Structure 1
Amino acid sequence: MELSGFDKRLKENVEYLEELKDLAEKEGVSNKIRFVVSCSTAERNALLSECLCVLYTPKDEHFGIVPLEAMAAYKPVIACNSGGPVDSIKNGVTGFLCNPTPQDFSLAMTRFIEDPQFAETMGREARKHVVESFSTKTFGQHLNRYILDIHRGKED
């Protein structure tokens, strides 16, 4: 489990990590969880290559780069049905948008666990979506179109 944005200088970050570790111990799964509080790009890429999907749990989060990074790495994303993921994830195509409840997230996770091929298929769609909608080439084309539109507006 990667805790992105973790800052050990912030008391609430440290307390939350300890809460999560205690919960994992209490539930008897601490030997199956590795908490990663920060990692290099190479480590992140290795983790992405090994996972079935990516869980993005912030509710009402801003746009967020994590879902795009995951989809660029051919991984479907399970995220809250609010904030930035609503704009970046195609529900049922490149991942799942869920209510922010353990039940909804676990149901989405179960679909991938029961059918890893489905996760792989959705991951290919996720990659295609990121390239078509969020690549620097696409961004440049949109920016160029906006600039030309503005320029044409001034000529009229």
Structure 2
Amino acid sequence: MCGFDKRLKENVEYLDELKDLAEKEGVSDKIKFITSCSTDERNVLLSECLCVLYTPENEHFGIVPLEAMAAYKPVIACNSGGPVESIKNGVTGFLCDPTPQEFSSAMANLIDDPQRAEEMGREARRHVVESFSTKTFGKRLNSYLVDIHRGKED
């Protein structure tokens, strides 16, 4: 959503490809390409959407799915890389093969049942707080350090 770098030739070329595709498909009037946004703008966008699509394949852990889930939004992402660790398939979002058919099916699922999207959003928020908050990480780190210390004493 906010990772565009105009200094990178591949970023500029890819954006141009997407704009051309939107024009070719006749949907350019329905799409707004946002290449950079502030935290406030991101928060407004998250508050207004039904869900978040995260399309990178084999991406590193990634903060986008966590930000979306923290904002009570289910995430539709590729079934590879970081999202496999952060998204509970069918509970906090959907993990899909990287095909238009799978992504569109997951989107239709939420569009057809906005109540389910809302429930998944609540579960997503709960999951982020329980599994990825600073407090949770701190407790886990402390536990690991205590275990290491105990192991050295034995």
Q: Any idea what the Cα deviations from partners look like across 1:60-87, whole Å, max 9, x if unmatched? A: 0010000000000000000000010000
Partner residue of 1:138?
A: 136
TM-score (norm 1): 0.97
Q: How does 1:110-149 map to 2 (within 5 A)?
A: 110-149=108-147
Q: Any idea what the Cα deviations from partners look like across 1:11-63, whole Å, max 9, x if unmatched? A: 11101101101111111111111000010000000000000000000000010
Q: CA deviation at 1:5?
A: 1.9
Q: CA deviation at 1:106?
A: 0.2
TM-score (norm 2): 0.98
Partner residue of 1:83?
A: 81
How well do the aligned residues superpose, as a CA RMSD in angstroms?
0.6
Secondary structure of 2:94's match? strand
Q: Distance in 1 between the 2:58 and 2:16 partners? A: 24
The one-letter code sitting in structure 2 at the alignment partner of 1:145 is S
Partner residue of 1:36?
A: 34
Secondary structure of 1:97's match? strand
Q: Distance in 2 between the 1:142 and 1:19 partners? A: 44
Instruction: Give the number of aligned pairs.
Output: 154
Aligned counterpart for 1:22 among listed residues 20, 23, 29:
20
In the alignment, structure 1 segments of 5+ residues that lack a partner are: none
Q: CA deviation at 1:6?
A: 1.1
Q: CA deviation at 1:148?
A: 0.4
Partner residue of 2:57?
A: 59
Identity of aligned residues (%): 82
Q: Distance in 2 between the 1:127 and 1:10 partners? A: 34
The one-letter code sitting in structure 2 at the alignment partner of 1:143 is L
